[in-house]
Chain A
């Protein structure tokens, strides 16, 4: 079945460690790619998005993601995490082959130890 897959369910890091969260999708055709963050008790916020152009996109709070079309991947990275980055992270894909709906990955919980 076509899907969006996030490799890690729960990631635990110490402050200043580097972060990479994996996201793979299986939709063909044109896709838009998103990373959302959900801080405890808060609503979903957009971190960054890729529509076209430079496959390396920069988002808010020092996050970036790289679209690798050949690998159907859109991994999220941050060179040095902070305690305040503790949150749930969701990758989402909008495939025009799927009617333009947003399909979410299962989420990755990030816990950053101070």
Chain B
């Protein structure tokens, strides 16, 4: 149990376009989902925390208008990178927890975004 999927696993887009990444909890209801960004050979940096039905809480330095997060249901959260630029190229990972962030987070496989 506690499987989290992400789609797509890999995406290449042109500069200026928008890209949507989906994160789904397959076998549990995720009250809280988290979005991380991981640069090569570096750690995961939390971008935002989203609770179902409410606005996401963004970490300092993360542009909320650039990284749009929607958590419309207990099993789905989406991250949209708007007007993507090459510096947005990265590995984006989501995680989901069953509670209010007190419980274990289950991680998705990640999405590799390359902006040309």
Contact = CB atoms under 8 A, between A and B. Distances in A.
Say what secondary structure dominates the interface of chain A: strand
A90 B34 contact: no
Interface string B36-66: 0000011111100100000000000000000
A94 B32 CA distance: 15
Interface stretch (B68-76, B80-88, B98-106): B98-106
A37 to B, nearest CB: 11
Nearest to A49: B104
Contact of B46 (A44, A45, A101): A101
Nearest to B45: A104
B104 to A, nearest CB: 7
Interface residues of B, number: 20
B101 A43 contact: no
Interface in A88-114: 90, 94, 100-107, 109
Interface string A45-66: 1100100000000000000000
A43 B109 contact: yes
A90 B43 contact: yes
